[in-house]
């Protein structure tokens, strides 16, 4: 290829998906992995594909992604998550771009196709998934997302084009894994929104989940994805509710494992306090 390409990945305990991910990018010039303390076989598998593996405590999404980008050697970079793969059509399209002597763009947006509960999701909130993945690292940096960086994105100063083919995303193997992710992500999001007032958190906790469901299931036609589409819309609504409930919890000063017992004639009542 006329232009060399580096791929970077952040990982933790992803032995079930990392091999397929790495197989789809093993043709690139460099693979950089930043792991935040895997206890399974993730690192063992990764060593079959690259020697550039960095072990680093988890500082949040934005910081970890930027750290990985900064440790690549080539001008053009591509980031992929450990539960994603490049389709064969996308591989050919990227190779075609990289062989150009003068690439007319500084970055490219790529669509992501999500597989969940036995089917590819075409509609709803997951059906319009398109993000910058391939870019010149001298033009792009990770920004936004608050302290936890949950919703951080690559921001590019320059021209952005689009590729036609898809990244294949396998986000959850089952509903239990999705529920665990909702628990983790809602906590990170709530910590990022600590400046939200208590009254505003209550308002959003009551109204935002309902409107999010309408937006994704009705207006974005999530119902066309059958039962998986319904589950996605309900789970997203639940995530929004829990996120703002946790903001309210923070604003009230409640903390886990801080319990006092108040004596009553009939029973002992446990009350969480600051």
The secondary structure of the chain in percent helix, strand, coil, rounded to multiples of 5, reads: 40, 25, 35
Give the residue from 131, 152, 169 where a domain finishes: 169
Domain annotation covers residue 271: no
Q: Give yes or no for a contact between 110 and 154, defined as CB atoms under 8 angstroms apart.
A: no
Domain annotation covers residue 266: no
Domain annotation covers residue 257: no
Whole-angstrom distance, CA of residue 193 vs CA of residue 208: 15
- For the record, the structure tokens of 265 come out as 């004639």
Strands 107-116 and 160-169, by their bridges, are parallel
What is the pLDDT at residue 260? 47
What is the pLDDT at residue 216? 95
pLDDT (tens digit, 9 = 90+) per residue, 160-217? Answer: 999 999 999 999 999 999 999 999 999 988 888 877 777 888 888 999 999 999 999 9
Whole-angstrom distance, CA of residue 1 vs CA of residue 72: 17
What is the pLDDT at residue 92? 97
Domain annotation covers residue 227: yes
What is the pLDDT at residue 226? 97
What is the pLDDT at residue 146? 64
What is the pLDDT at residue 273? 46
What is the pLDDT at residue 128? 78
What is the pLDDT at residue 259? 47
Give the domain range for residue 105: 5-169
Collapse the DSSP code of 32 into the 3-class scheme (helix H, G, I; strand E, B; otherwise coil) and give the result.
strand
Ranges of the chain with pLDDT below 70 = 1, 145-149, 255-274
What is the pLDDT at residue 255? 57
H or E element that contains 271: strand 269-272
Domain annotation covers residue 70: yes
Q: Are residues 49 and 147 in the same domain?
A: yes
- For the record, the structure tokens of 118 come out as 């036995």
């Amino acid at each position: 290829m006329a232009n060399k390409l580096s791929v970077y990945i952040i990982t933790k305990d992803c032995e079930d998906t990392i091999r397929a991910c790495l197989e789809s990018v093993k043709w690139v010039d460099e693979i950089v992995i930043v792991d935040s303390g895997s206890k399974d076989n993730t690192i063992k598998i990764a060593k079959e594909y690259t020697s550039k593996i960095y072990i680093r405590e988890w500082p949040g999404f934005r910081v970890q992604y930027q750290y990985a980008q900064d440790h690549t050697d080539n001008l053009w970079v591509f980031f992929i998550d450990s539960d994603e793969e490049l389709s064969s059509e996308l591989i050919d399209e990227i190779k075609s771009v990289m062989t150009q002597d003068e690439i007319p763009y500084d970055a490219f947006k790529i669509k992501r196709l999500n597989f969940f509960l036995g089917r590819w999701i075409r509609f709803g909130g997951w059906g319009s998934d398109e993000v910058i993945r391939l870019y010149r690292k001298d033009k792009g940096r990770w920004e936004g997302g608050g302290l936890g960086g949950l919703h951080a994105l690559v921001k590019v100063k320059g021209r952005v084009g689009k590729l036609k083919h898809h990244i294949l995303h396998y986000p959850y193997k089952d509903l239990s894994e999705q529920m665990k992710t909702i628990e983790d992500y809602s906590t990170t999001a709530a910590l990022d929104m600590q400046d939200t007032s208590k009254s505003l958190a209550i308002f959003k906790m009551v109204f935002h989940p309902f409107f999010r469901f309408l937006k994704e299931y009705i207006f974005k036609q999530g119902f066309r994805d059958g039962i998986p589409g319904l589950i996605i819309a309900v789970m997203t609504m639940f995530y929004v509710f829990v996120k703002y409930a946790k903001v309210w919890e923070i604003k009230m000063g409640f903390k886990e494992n801080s319990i006092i017992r108040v004596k009553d004639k009939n029973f002992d009542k446990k009350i969480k306090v600051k």
